Chains A and B, each alone.
Chain A
Amino acid sequence: TPSLRLGRSSEKIYNFMDAQYYGDIALGTPEQNFSVVFDTGSSDLWVPSAYCVTEACALPKRFKAFKSTSFLHDGRQFGINYGSGHLLGVMGRDYLMVAGMMVKRQEFRESVYEPGTAFLKARFDGVLGLGYPALAEILGNPVFDNMLAQNLLDKPIFSFYLSRKLNGSPEGELLLGGTDERLYDLPINWLPVTAKAYWQIKIDSVVVQGVNPFCPHGCQAIVDTGTSLITGPTDDILDIQQLIGATPTNFGEFIVDCARLSNFPQHQHFVLGGKEYTLTSDQYIRKEMLGDRKLCFSGFQAVDMISSEGPLWILGDVFLTQYYSIFDRGQDRVGFAIA
């Protein structure tokens, strides 16, 4: 199941097979540059270590602690267990530069052993988590908490603008310390965070073509920039796939006939904080070229993600490309506005 992130105290699985947006950071003195996924679905910063020797570390840039005069060795180790292997690493501290802003004494993880070869295909080197500290495996502040602790930002807010177009201008933007009103239309609809680990909020209901309301009594969702699709509990998602006429592939994805796009339900509604958020078929169907053939995939995916508040939905890039998202740590709330 792609895009699965399952948190169970010390065990976590990370899967970035569907991550699409990344930006640049630098670590150390002199600076060593890395491309990272800015991920609201996790809270740690990690990059590959120069000591990583597995095949998975063959291509990405790797952090050379021995070349940084400001690096502080931490000594702690960390491990992330996968079903078929595990990622191992060590922790350290160093200067972090993000778009010209310096964060001092930033804890981060260097991975020294990575299973699998997925990252050979990745255009990014690591991940910078923007979730709450409760989600972090490192003792110490996550990056955004450190920015706040060091008074680097005017407001305890960050926001995402994600464009759907490749090679657009800009393709996306993360704004630290506020929002840019040129990137969205007012008003902003604010939703309280219901559990401070992921950016978790309450969905009032999901409505497909005006019928079959899903989670009619409300359900929990996380807003996750590291996930590309909209995911939900298997039963609900299979019903939605049926309603839009999507059929499963061997790879757990759901495909639709591109020629029938105009016959699909035109609108799917997510009701958040009493306000309807609409996705048209053009927005919830993902198109991909395979040679000279066009494939059309459903933007919905079944992922059974359990939390103490019940099954979690994930609002990923399919949703976030349509709606500008604002994450407010000061008032523990998430805001949406039309992008």
Chain B
Amino acid sequence: ALIRVPLRKVPTIRSQLRSEGLLQDFLVENRPDMFSRRYAQCFPAG
């Protein structure tokens, strides 16, 4: 009763964007870290 799910490994979205020269534009436009930057100061120290 062991269920085996094969996994495939692919280049990350980051790698694909980098290889197509789109990573910088993507990061500028989508700002995936904006949330953490904006709210980091709301958390208690430590």
Contact = CB atoms under 8 A, between A and B. Distances in A.
Contacts, number: 147
Interface size on B, as a range, is 35 or more
Contacts of B37: 83
Contacts of B27: 251
A84 B31 contact: yes
A23 B24 contact: no
A22 B14 contact: no
Contacts of B16: 121
Given A16-B13, A228-B12, A288-B15, A304 B34 contact: no
B3 to A, nearest CB: 4
Cβ-closest 9 pairs across A and B: A83-B34, A172-B7, A83-B35, A176-B3, A1-B33, A171-B9, A174-B5, A21-B7, A154-B1
Interface string B29-46: 111111111111001101
A192 to B, nearest CB: 23
A263 interface: no
A6 interface: yes
Interface centre among B2, B27, B40 (most CB of A within 10 A): B2
Given A83-B35, A311-B46, 5 more contacts: A116-B30, A122-B13, A162-B7, A171-B7, A288-B15
Interface centre among A81, A84, A166, A290 (most CB of B within 10 A): A84
A173 B7 contact: yes
B18 A6 contact: no
A17 B8 contact: no
Given A17-B13, A118-B13, A251-B24, A23 B6 contact: yes
A101 interface: yes
Nearest to A289: B19
